[in-house]
Amino acid sequence: MELKKQITRIARRALNASRTLSNLASFEKNRILVEMAENLKGQKEEVLRANKKDIAAARAGRLSEAFIDRLALNEKRIEEMVSGLLGVARLTDPVGEEIKAWDVPSGLQIHKVRVPIGVIAIIYESRPNVTADCIGLAFKSGNSVILRGGSESLNSNIAIFKALDAVVKKNNLPPGTINIIATKDRQAINILLKLNDYIDLVIPRGGEALIKKVTALSRIPVIKHYKGICHVYVDDYADLNMAEKICFNAKVQRPGVCNAMESMLIHRDVAARFLPGMLKKFKEAGVEIRGCPLTLKISKERIKKAKDADYRTEYSDLILAVKVVASPQEAIRHINKYGSHHSDAIVTEDENNSREFLKKVDSACVYVNASTRFTDGHQFGLGAEIGISTDKLHARGPMALEELTSYKYAIWGSGQVRE
């Protein structure tokens, strides 16, 4: 009962704060974001000490190296958080932007204008950089935010939050501007998801189990950042040197993230030329390969036979499913059947195949001749991101400032009444 009261109090304060934040001037928000970045940089050692505690606990709990990679902070990653906050400060403020304006026969002047959503709850797992990214984006877009990070990163999240909240307090912003639920009690999520009188939107970021739980329990609208079963298809018109670089980057550069390649598809006409060298390179990088019968026949490496479930799995690790296909159309069908509508790529020099792939693959981000690893708010020039939405309503793909706004109609009249 005490936890419920505590979380309800947080949500109520967030609602009250959102009414002030929605009217905060852009220059004030930008100045405060710069101060947040500076203070986070100044508290770097404290954040790293907190992160070491989380990593030690993760190793003691025998969590995977891919998980620990997502959890770990270092000077470079803290600098990226600082840079993210500064980048958000430089972005154009969407609040108050006029999307469209028109007159109607009655003489009314109608203006469609961007406004903040209000109170956003973000439930996420192991990556502590999400704490800074979400606070920066929510604040710039005029929303108050309630953060509930994973228990494995609690020490890191609290340290980052304290560095940013100190700036909130220094500038006399209303209590509840930014909020964190600093408990490992799993009941906290259940309580939070029922507070639809105070919270306008829930964004879950994490594994499939978390997304399903939040979607099932929430009384509040949810934008899902679902699993990343991402594909790269190597076409028969591909530059195979380019394809090798793209596929290796998409799988190996950072395998624990949602935009890493989980399945590689190869046209049968180039499979015998492409696969032996590609699979050898993957093996040398420690990637476990699970292949279709033709992949097993072509491969010079010892690999496992892929099951149907392998093509439906987000490994978030150095494991890759491989399939040889007969045509671009078969690749597209496979991606639409087994993928998670996140990020998928074709490597080809054929413009018709490129355009067909772009048109028919039903994913938030579809690439021609580039790694899926670019699905990222910063890489898209959007600043930091809340996450990658695989939904189709309201927001899709990297969620940045515009996606954290709604709109309203401002109507100007001169005494009109409806007859």
What does the pLDDT look like over 124-173, one tens digit per residue? 988 899 999 999 999 999 999 999 999 999 999 999 999 999 999 999 99
Give the pLDDT confidence score for residue 50 in this predicted structure.
98
What does the pLDDT look like over 326-368, one tens digit per residue? 999 999 999 999 999 999 999 999 999 999 999 999 999 999 9
Q: Is 419 within the bounds of a domain? A: no
Average pLDDT over residues 263-275: 98
Q: Is 276 within the bounds of a domain? A: yes
**What Rg do the C-alpha atoms of the chain give, in angstroms?**
23
Q: Are residues 403 and 366 in the same domain?
A: no
How far apart are the C-alpha atoms of 46 and 40, rounded to whole Å? 9
How far apart are the C-alpha atoms of 345 and 263, rounded to whole Å? 11
Report the chain's mean pLDDT, rounded to a whole number: 94
What does the pLDDT look like over 56-97, one tens digit per residue? 999 999 988 878 988 999 999 999 999 989 999 999 999 999
Q: Are residues 133 and 217 in the same domain?
A: yes
| Residue 328 to residues 233, 237, 259, 325, 358, Cα–Cα distance (Å) | 8, 10, 21, 8, 11
How far apart are the C-alpha atoms of 401 and 384, rounded to whole Å? 9
Give the pLDDT confidence score for residue 213 in this predicted structure.
92
Give the pLDDT confidence score for residue 33 in this predicted structure.
98
Q: Is 382 within the bounds of a domain? A: no
Q: Are residues 136 and 193 in the same domain?
A: yes
Q: Are residues 92 and 173 in the same domain?
A: yes
Give the pLDDT confidence score for residue 106 in this predicted structure.
96
Q: Are residues 209 and 116 in the same domain?
A: yes
What CATH number should be reported for the domain holding residue 30? 3.40.605.10
Percent above pLDDT 90 for the chain: 84
Average pLDDT over residues 405-414: 97
Helix ranges (H only) for 285-323 are 293-298
The answer to whether 177 and 146 are in contact (CB under 8 A) is: no
How far apart are the C-alpha atoms of 186 and 184, rounded to whole Å? 6
Is residue 116 scored above 80 in pLDDT? yes
Measured over the CA atoms of residue 284, residue 285, residue 289 and residue 295, the dihedral's sign is negative
Q: Are residues 172 and 303 in the same domain?
A: no
How far apart are the C-alpha atoms of 235 and 253, rounded to whole Å? 22
> In the beta sheet, which residues pair with residue 203?
122
DSSP 173: P
Q: Are residues 268 and 351 in the same domain?
A: yes
What CATH number should be reported for the domain holding residue 294? 3.40.309.10
Give the pLDDT confidence score for residue 65 in this predicted structure.
84
Dihedral of the CA atoms 187, 192, 193, 194 (nearest 10)? 100
How far apart are the C-alpha atoms of 349 and 201, rounded to whole Å? 42
Percent above pLDDT 70 for the chain: 100
Q: Are residues 189 and 239 in the same domain?
A: no
Is 273 or 67 the better-scoring residue by pLDDT? 273
How far apart are the C-alpha atoms of 220 and 337, rounded to whole Å? 29
Is 1 or 379 the better-scoring residue by pLDDT? 379
Give the pLDDT confidence score for residue 390 in this predicted structure.
84
Domain span at 361:
230-374
Average pLDDT over residues 375-404: 84
How far apart are the C-alpha atoms of 301 and 307, rounded to whole Å? 18
> In the beta sheet, which residues pair with residue 204?
123
Q: Are residues 104 and 127 in the same domain?
A: yes
Average pLDDT over residues 268-283: 97
Give the pLDDT confidence score for residue 208 in this predicted structure.
79
Q: Are residues 257 and 189 in the same domain?
A: no
DSSP 197: T
Is residue 383 scored above 80 in pLDDT? no
Is 84 or 383 the better-scoring residue by pLDDT? 84
Q: Is 386 within the bounds of a domain? A: no
pTM, full prediction: 0.85
The count of structural domains within the chain is: 2
Region of poorest pLDDT, from 35-44, 65-74, 315-324, 362-371:
65-74
Give the pLDDT confidence score for residue 377 in this predicted structure.
78
Q: Are residues 346 and 326 in the same domain?
A: yes
Average pLDDT over residues 101-129: 95
Q: Are residues 167 and 305 in the same domain?
A: no
**pLDDT confidence tier of residue 220, bands split at 50, 70 and 90:** very high
